[in-house]
Amino acid sequence: MDAISASRGLLRMLTCGSVDDGKSTLIGRLLYDAQLIAEDTLAAITRDSRKHGTVGEEVDLALLVDGLEAERQQGITIDVAYRFFTTGSRSFIVADCPGHEQYTRNMATGASNSELAIILVDARKGLLTQTRRHSFICSLLGIRHVVLAVNKIDLVEFDQAVFDRIVAEYHGFAAAFGFRTLAAIPLSGRFGDNVTQRSPRTPWYQGPTLIEHLDSVEVDEDAEALPFRFPVQWVNRPNLDFRGYAGTVASGRIALGEPVVVAASGVTSEITRILGPAGEQQSAAAGEAVTLCLAQEIDIARGDMLAPPAQRPAVADQLAAHILWMDEEKLLPGRQYLLRMGHAWTTASITAIKHRIDVTTLGQLPATSLALNEIAVCNLSTAQKLAFDPYGENRLTGAFILVDRTSNRTVGCGMVQFPLRRATNIHQEAYLVDKGARAAAKGQRPMVLWFTGLSGSGKSTVAKLVEEALHGAGRHTYSLDGDNLRHGLNRDLGFTPQDRVENIRRVGEVAKLMVDAGLIVLASFISPYRAERQMVRDLLAPGEFVEVFVDTTLEVCAARDVKGLYAKAMRGELANFTGVSSPYEAPEAAELVLDGGATSPEALARQVLDLVERFQAG
Amino acid sequence: MPSLPPHLKRLEAEAIGILRETAASFRNPVLLYSIGKDSSVVLHLAQKAFAPGKLPFPLLHIATGWDFRAMLEFRDRRAAEIGARLIVHTNPDGVAQGIGPLSHGSQVHMNVMGTEALKQALNQHGFDAALGGARRDEEKSRAKERVFSHRAPGHVWEPRGQRPELWGLYNTRIGPGETMRVFPLSNWTEFDVWDYIAAEDIPVVPLYFAALRPTLRRSGAMIMRDDERMPLEPGEEIEMKWVRFRTMGDWPLTGAHESRAETMDQVLEELRASRVSERHGRLIDNDQEASMERKKREGYF
Ligand SMILES: Nc1nc2c(ncn2[C@@H]2O[C@H](COP(=O)(O)OP(=O)(O)O)[C@@H](O)[C@H]2O)c(=O)[nH]1
Ligand SMILES: [Mg+2]
What is the 3-class SS of A533-561, one letter each residue?
Answer: HHHHHHHCCCCCEEEEEEECCHHHHHHHC
pLDDT in tens, B181-230: 999 999 999 999 999 999 999 999 999 999 999 999 988 889 999 988 98
Q: Which of B144, B224, B130 is nearest to A66 (CA)?
A: B144
Instruction: Report the pLDDT value the prediction gives residue A19, as an integer from 0 to 100.
Output: 83
- A187 Cα–ligand 1 center, Å: 12
- Rounded CA-CA distance A563/A567 in Å is 9
How much is the average pLDDT of A486-497? 86
Contact residues of ligand 1, CB 6 A cut-off: A 17, 19-25, 54-55, 62, 77, 99, 151-152, 154-155, 188-190
pLDDT of residue B288: 45
Whole-Å CA distances, B198 to B8, B201, B261: 12, 5, 14
**Residue B297, pLDDT score:** 59
Q: What is the pLDDT of residues A153-211, one digit of tens each?
A: 999 999 999 999 999 999 988 888 989 999 999 999 999 999 999 999 999 999 999 99
Separation between Cα atoms, residue A358 and residue A370, nearest integer Å:
12
Ligand minimally distant from the alpha carbon of residue A66: 2
Distance of CA A131 to CAs A17, A168, A176, A361, B9, Å?
Answer: 7, 14, 14, 12, 35
β B257-258/B29-32 pair status: unpaired
pLDDT tens digit string along B251-263?
A: 999 999 999 999 9
- Residue B38 makes CB contacts below 8 A (sequence gap 6+) with B133, B134, B135, B185, B193
Q: Residue A458: name the closest of A583, A568, A585, A549 by CA.
A: A549
For residue B130, give how far its alpha carbon lies from the nearest alpha carbon of chain A (Å). 19
B52 vs A contacts (CB less than 8 Å): 236, 238, 242, 275
3-state secondary structure of A132: helix
Q: Residue B240: pLDDT above 70?
A: yes
H or E element, residue A472: helix A459-472
How far apart, in whole angstroms, are the C-alpha atoms of residue A487 and residue A492? Answer: 9
Percentage of residues in chain A with pLDDT exceeding 70?
91
Size of interface A-B (CB pairs under 8 A): 183
- In whole angstroms, give the CA distance from residue A192 to residue A77: 21
Q: Do A395 and B13 touch (CB under 8 A)?
A: no
- Is A81 in contact with B195 (Cβ distance < 8 A)? no
Q: Considering chain A, what is the average pLDDT of its residues? A: 88
Rounded to the nearest angstrom, the minimum Cα separation between B92 and chain A is 33
Q: Is the pLDDT of residue A430 over 50?
A: no
Q: Quick one: which of A376, A126, A394 has its CA closest to A250?
A: A394
| Least confident interval from A7-21, A353-367, B97-111 | A7-21
pLDDT at A50 > cutoff 70: no
Nearest Cα to Cα of residue A311 among A267, A268, A261, A271: A261
Nearest-atom number in ligand 1 for the CA of A54 is 23
Run of H or E residues at A482: helix A482-486
Q: What pTM was estimated for this model as a whole?
A: 0.80
3-state secondary structure A338-383: EEEECCEEEEEEEEEEEEEECCCCCCEECCCCECCCCEEEEEEEEE
**CA distance linking residue A147 with residue A397, whole number of Å:** 27
Q: How far apart are CA A272 and CA A274, in angstroms?
A: 7
Per-residue pLDDT at B290: 46
Closest residue in B to A47 (Cα) is B289
Phi, psi of A373, deg, nearest 5 = 70, 5
Within chain B, residue ranges assigned H as helices are: 6-25, 37-50, 69-82, 92-96, 101-109, 117-125, 190-200, 264-273, 291-298
d(CA B44, CA B193): 12
Using the CB atoms, write b or e for B104-131: b if 16+ within 10 Å.
Answer: bebeebbbbbbbbbbbbbbeeeebbbbb
CB A484 within 8 A of CB A490: no
Q: What is the dihedral of CA B16, B17, B23, B24, to 10 degrees?
A: 160
Which ligand 1 atom lies nearest to the CA of residue A96? 21
pLDDT at A219: 85
Least Cα distance to A245 among A284, A282, A295, A300 occurs for A300
Q: Which of A265, A527, A582, A600 is catalytic?
A: A527
Are the C-beta atoms of A534 and A588 separated by less than 8 Å?
A: no
- Please write the tens of the pLDDT for every residue from A240-296: 899 999 999 999 999 999 999 999 999 999 999 999 999 999 999 999 999 999 999
HSE (side-chain half, CA atoms, 13 Å) at A58? 8
> Would residue A7 show up in a list of annotated catalytic residues for this protein?
no
Taking residues A53-80, report their average pLDDT: 64
CA A69 to chain centre: 28
Which amino acid is located at A491 in the chain?
R
Angstrom distance (rounded) from CA A459 to CA A462: 6
Spatial separation of the C-alpha atoms in residues A361 and A376, rounded to whole Å: 14
For residue B216, how many other CB atoms are within 10 A of its CB? Answer: 17
